[in-house]
Amino acid sequence: MLSIGPGTATGDSGTPPQAPAPRRRCLRVGFLFSCLVVLLFGAGFLWFVRLMPTSETAPAGNADGIVVLTGGAFRINDALDLLAAGRGQRLLISGVNPATRSREISRLMPEHQHWFSCCVDLDHSATNTIGNAIETRRWAKARGFKSLIVVTSNFHMPRAMAELAHQLPDVTLVPFPVVSERVLVETWWTSPSTTRLLFWEYLKYIVARARMRLQNSFA
């Protein structure tokens, strides 16, 4: 007599039943797709870092105006140096704390103090890069400027240029990246803090690009 014991549910060989072929195929395709996404994402990050400026290079020519996006004192000082060198007619400092006035900033840079009385404008409205771009557009259009030198940190420059170009498609933008010794892009993999900073900036850059594409498609 043939007896059926509890172990016979797996088949005569004792091996568990395999998943149906279509299911295995879907799992394999899903795995390969996930690997491809990870590879593309990693390659994009390396491309992003590779294109990031690693040295400060003076603009080849002059522009109508200069805009500096706040976030560090070195940025403002470099922007004022450009203004003093005649690189632009006026300077916009975008994203200034609402409680900060021009005389407070000028005290920190006495060598440029006289420029604040004639050629420096403060934007107290912007709280992020999108706001910087919107306020810069208003300022440039009010002044009739058709070219701008953009001053910000080197790791922030790709996203800043993208946001500004989105708001000012008819204005020529000239980047002036400010390089900090605390963020060494050339050896980013040796510093966990720099790696996190660049990766986070890369994520924000991708999101910004995706948002702009959506806005253009519904415009």
pLDDT digits (tens, 9 = 90+) for 89-141: 999 999 998 888 888 887 777 788 888 888 999 999 999 999 999 999 999 99
Same domain, 194 and 138: no
Q: What is the pLDDT of residue 72?
A: 65
Q: What is the pLDDT of residue 107?
A: 79
The answer to whether residue 146 is domain-embedded is: yes
Q: What is the pLDDT of residue 158?
A: 93
Q: What is the pLDDT of residue 39?
A: 84
Same domain, 197 and 94: no
Same domain, 159 and 82: yes
**Any idea which of 5-14, 49-58, 150-159 has the lowest mean pLDDT?**
5-14
Same domain, 89 and 157: yes
pLDDT in tens, 205-216: 999 999 999 888
pLDDT over 60 at 6, yes or no? no
Same domain, 75 and 176: yes
Same domain, 107 and 173: yes
DSSP E strands: which ranges in the chain? 65-69, 90-94, 120-123, 147-153, 172-178
Same domain, 117 and 132: yes
Same domain, 85 and 132: yes
- Of the pLDDT bands very low, low, confident and very high (cuts 50, 70, 90), residue 13 is low
- The domain total for the chain is 2
Q: What is the pLDDT of residue 3?
A: 47
State the DSSP code for 183: S
CB 129 within 8 A of CB 157: no
Domain assignment of residue 197, given as a range: 188-219
The answer to whether residue 11 is domain-embedded is: no
The answer to whether residue 46 is domain-embedded is: no
The answer to whether residue 71 is domain-embedded is: yes
Same domain, 71 and 129: yes
Which range of 10-19, 29-38, 168-177, 181-190 scores highest in mean pLDDT? It is 168-177
pTM: 0.81
Record the tokens describing residue 92, joined without a space: 């916009």
Same domain, 211 and 127: no
The answer to whether residue 193 is domain-embedded is: yes
The answer to whether residue 40 is domain-embedded is: no
CB 72 within 8 A of CB 178: yes
pLDDT over 80 at 200, yes or no? yes
